[in-house]
Amino acid sequence: MTDTEIKAIREIRINPIVPSESVLVATARSMRPRKAEDPAPRDTRRHVDTCPFCTGNEHMTPPTIASYPDGDNWQARIVENLYPVLGDDRSTGNLVFGLQQAIEGYGRHEVIIDHRQHGIALHEMSEEHLFLLFGAYQERMTQIYANDARIRYVLVFKNFGPAAGASIAHTHSQIIAMPVVPENVYNEVTHSRTHYQKQHQCIFCSLIDEALTFEATIYDRASGQIRRRINVGQYVVERGERFIAIKPFASRYEWEVHILPLQHQSNFLDITEHDRADLARVLKRTMGRLDAVIGGAQYNFFLHSQPRGDDFADCDASYHWHLEICPRTSIPTGFELGSGLFVSTLSPEEAAERLRSVDLDSPAA
């Protein structure tokens, strides 16, 4: 344990993948009294008669696109979004007027009802169920790409809690198929490609290797005293056979955790059933740890995978898909919104330590 040696931290940490993204870690002081988000009032009901996503109310949603398994006994169900942010129902064409450019809001917006049970949380779902859910994501993403050559990116994400943008309490995730590559993914893909061109290594693989093996001690040049001991293994939150959950060194959100395949893989669509089973297990355990430490927190998760297109075809070796889990435990301040510099008052090392020390395997847990 090296945590006792890490006292107050005040430093700007540069995201190793996207250097323009950085976070100010300032643990000693309250730079601002940061108002914590209230935990989402947890709706734990199993069934709600008026909920359009509950069983028996299938007629209240737009038509079913797919059910897993098919039929009345569905465990997950995909429907069109009633209020899509992007649609393929009309064509207005692109618009260029002087410096103003608009790309048509073309695409698809679908909802995945994650589970029959209204208020179940991810960590309460069985591994078998999460296996099925990731299978639903994979199959539907594959179909959307296959059906429409104009789609460049299919984003799968989940909002839990009103502060994270969830408008319906019944557990669900969303699929948005877009004609452009979203900026976050674009930045990751292009920066990791540049890294690969220089280092001939996938930067995500290097970060995983460091997380698993690297230890270093930094000495003060003048006094010879230990300035800091870095045990990078301290960023590992959960490790499975094929996946790892890591607390990024420069996390934007205090409790942000990323899940990545241990073996290099650029595209989520390439995962095997065996991969999916281990992903389900690592996600369930990671969410269980988050729930034990910051129970009921509102969060988003999103899947970042290789985009489609000739300009990204060469990213197989340099990009590495992952799932980002971002609990919203505080409201961004004006400083953060105005500067783009996120502030973390909890060190990523301490957050990882607290998550890791949750005993998930004891009968009481």
Residues that bind Zn ion (CB under 5 A): 48, 51, 53-54, 118, 170, 202, 204-205, 264, 304, 320
Q: Are strands 64-68 and 22-26 parallel, antiparallel or unpaired?
A: unpaired
- SS3 of 19-73: the string is CCCEEEEECCCCCCCCCECCCCCCCCCCCCCCCCCCCCCHHHCCCEEEEECCCCC
Nearer to Zn ion by Cβ, of 115 and 289: the residue is: 115
Nearest approach in angstroms of CB 153 to Zn ion is 12
Nearest approach in angstroms of CB 30 to Zn ion is 29
Nearest approach in angstroms of CB 72 to Zn ion is 16
Q: Which residues neighbour 244 within 8 Å (Cβ) at sequence distance 6 or greater? A: 208, 211, 212, 236, 238, 259, 260, 262, 282
Nearest approach in angstroms of CB 123 to Zn ion is 18
Which neighbouring-strand residues pair with 109?
176
Nearer to Zn ion by Cβ, of 106 and 253: the residue is: 253
Torsion of CA 42, 45, 47, 52, to 10 degrees: -20
How far is residue 171's CA from residue 168's CA, in Å, rounded to a whole number? 8
Nearest approach in angstroms of CB 188 to Zn ion is 5
In the numeric block, the tokens 């999916």 are attached to 276
Phi, psi values for residue 172, rounded to 5°: -155, 160
Coil/strand/helix, residue 254:
coil
Nearer to Zn ion by Cβ, of 239 and 264: the residue is: 264
Nearest approach in angstroms of CB 193 to Zn ion is 12
Which neighbouring-strand residues pair with 299?
160, 327
Query: How many CA atoms lie within 13 Å of 260's alpha carbon, on the beta-carbon side?
Result: 23
Contact by Cβ (8 Å): 341, 335: yes
Nearest approach in angstroms of CB 33 to Zn ion is 30
Nearer to Zn ion by Cβ, of 2 and 206: the residue is: 206
Nearest approach in angstroms of CB 342 to Zn ion is 15
Nearer to Zn ion by Cβ, of 51 and 315: the residue is: 51
How far is residue 115's CA from residue 310's CA, in Å, rounded to a whole number? 36
Nearer to Zn ion by Cβ, of 31 and 168: the residue is: 168
Nearest approach in angstroms of CB 302 to Zn ion is 8
Count Cβ neighbours within 10 Å for each residue of 299-317 and write b for 16 or more, e otherwise: bbbbbbbbbbeeebeebee
- Token readout for 311 is 């300009």
Nearer to Zn ion by Cβ, of 88 and 254: the residue is: 254
Torsion of CA 39, 40, 46, 49, to 10 degrees: 160
How far is residue 169's CA from residue 53's CA, in Å, rounded to a whole number? 9
Nearer to Zn ion by Cβ, of 204 and 312: the residue is: 204
- SS3 of 316-331: the string is CCCCCCEEEEEEECEC
Nearest approach in angstroms of CB 310 to Zn ion is 21
Nearer to Zn ion by Cβ, of 155 and 205: the residue is: 205
Instruction: Tell me, rounded to whole angstroms, the distance of Cα 317 from its chain centroid.
Output: 21
Nearer to Zn ion by Cβ, of 205 and 237: the residue is: 205
